[in-house]
Structure 1
Amino acid sequence: MNAEIIAVGSELLLGQIANTNAQFLSQQMAELGINVYFHTVVGDNALRLQKAIEIAQTRANLIIFTGGLGPTKDDLTKETIARILQRELVIDEESLRSIEEYFARTNRTMTENNKKQALVLKGAEVLKNEHGMAPGMVVTIDDITYMLLPGPPKEMQPMFLKYGRPLLMNRLERQERIESRVLRFFGIGESQLETEIEDFIDGQSNPTIAPLAGDGEVTLRLTAKHHSAVEAKKSLDKIEKAILERVGHYFYGYNDDTLFTKVIEQLKRNNKTIAAAESLTGGRFLAELTAISGASEVVRGGIVCYTNEVKEHVLRIPHSVLETDGAVSEPCAKLLAEHVRTLCRADIGVSFTGVAGPSSLEGKPVGTVYVGIAMDGRETEVYSLTFGGDRETIRTRTAKYGCFAVLKKLAAAF
């Protein structure tokens, strides 16, 4: 099966909402082994929708629609499809009763146009809407299957999972499963990562390898296709092992992992606590950590030491260090990490100091960064870094680097 997903709604084209339906459905199709080669978004216009459908008919044998099943005049998905397929729209009595019961239950007056939501393509299999009013439907004509789903995700997703997905599984001639895995890397650029595994990328067929650069990070999406989920997993394991043998030093997690969630996870696993002294990052590091559920078990606290006065009088950095070496220096970063660890009675102290811009500071250029890591019973380490980009990019990458450094220290120590 080759599928195309057509999302209907002018609000999508205007950027008022994101097309999360297409993302969800593509993930579901991948699990079913159905190829999705095209996503189309079209506004609430019958002529343009007709043209989109006619194009999809030339390149897909499964066309899934989301949106345009409501009661108003701009909800025209099923009417347009009915005209193209020359298929009559008829009232689905069960859906109509459900709509009427909803209005009675909520003490609202049902207007005549709400009956429109109960219209379905004649001969279609009706997909019950248990979280809204407009039913979905599936019909196959001339070897093309048309699946119509409502637009609101809270209606579309449960409808597809309960009714649409099983229906497609029954229609597949052979169930070929697509398994994907995302490998996450930090501290290596996309071009360098690609160079390191260039032969794997050039020789890819199954599994496939897709690099993607993020905010100071790089991911590799590995995708394997096989009738057996077990065999697909074996293929992914094999290519993952080969990749990590070359660039494993930069690897930190899988799929939806973030550097911050991994730090919380590893601190819990090792029964360690952390505190931070943040000058350059202004609290960003701790804000990201404490946004994660369960962070209170391992995050002791910290100090936003944006001025030299706070560094000196709260974190007790000697005036001589600030005067001689400066706040943006290795000695200052070292003492900040050590003192915040002691002050907060944490196992690990992290410090961030540097120049985010837009102008230089203490004679040091924009992008100069020092990250200190102090651990009980171990020598404090300071990382001297240089980041490019604007102020926000430098601050974000600095906080992420702190996470990555903590992860590496934890791995080495425990």
Structure 2
Amino acid sequence: MLIDPLKLITAKEPIKLDVNQETDLLPLFLIPINGYETTIKYPSKWLMGKNLRCSVKLETDYSKYIYGNITQLIVWYQNDNNETYQLLLDSDGTSLFSKEYFIDLPLTNYGKFRLEIEMQASTNADIDTSLHLVKTLSTHRCWNTYQHCPVFSCSPKDINNQSSVQCSFSPELSFNCSTPDLCIYQDEVCDYEINCPDGSDELNCDQSSALMSNNTSANELNGDVSSINNLRCSFEVDYCSWRPFKLSNESCFWGMCSHNRGLIRTVAAKSLTQGPTFDHSENPKGHYLLLKSSSKRGRSTGSIVSSTPIGGNCKLVLHYLTNSRYSQVLIRSSDNSSSFNPFSTIEVIDLDWEKSLFTRVEVDLDLSGEWLFLVTMIKGDENSYLALDDIYFTKGCYALSIPESSLLHRSIDRFHAFL
């Protein structure tokens, strides 16, 4: 889901990150006695924001560096809890001569943070330690994650060939934070992201009725209202009510799924060569589901399936982060309790790989008792990966119970044991 510019509220006190190269970004050169690899680090000053989402612009300029090559660039993020992790890694040596990056930053609360730009250089000559290879490091844009009540619903409109924005107040779209006079959009409640400055939008979410169908409609369809929340999963403890699933080549959307390594629950990586260095909640010790490439040329796939059939009309929400230029997520369903075929593809999502934070995706569902499959695919070198995290359903869907003796249930267990 792309961010709607109409929902962005310009921060009154944005982060000031426009740097003076001579005083704010003083390079630190770590030059080895033997060898040709040199590390150049540019630490920024400590910064502070108040519940802001920000992105920064980084522009490098290596035109002064004529005695060697810059082989790798890493942008590190450090907070005042002494947690440090990578936000960006670029090792494409052919394009690092001069480049522009736009980097999304983790949510800033009331703590301090800073950035450090690290460059790996190869040279066999003396280095001029007065070089400034960072041309620009500045705030691109910042916005608050909340706004003053009431929340308005706005949409663009053409009147007499003139573009304008029409806004209206819709109480059902608004959620009041515990902090007086501060609101967020209702669809931002229990979305695994803190939007209210007091965090009240993420309290009691596992029991929240906002994520469930009403009892009457669910009971009429013999559904289990409470069990739909078991499919709400951050993967911090286990797979919740999702199960790993291995596709056969006959069921594979891409023709061949021989490199099927599965979606493996894992803790955040230490380096971006292995996977994201934090989960969707921006916790460097958090967990997510990870698909790693197993072939330089072939496709790698991984899947999970809901443990119960699902009915109703709602949205499936998930979050992803990938460094693969060619990656997809398929949302598929099957209503056949004795076979995994036929599949019905609900949506195919092409993923954006030039992101530093997890991206939210919404998929419309209209189900009448089908099992739901999330199928992922990446294509790239051995360092390519795709991570999924924080999956949930909006109001309108319900889970249906099935007998333990169901053939599909036994088959899923068999595949789970196989993995």
With the length of structure 2 as denominator, give the TM-score of the two structures. Answer: 0.28
The structure with more radius of gyration: 1
Which structure has the higher relative contact order (CA within 8 Å, separation 6+)?
2
Q: Which has the higher helix share?
A: 1
Greater percentage in strand: 2
TM-score under structure 1 length normalisation: 0.28
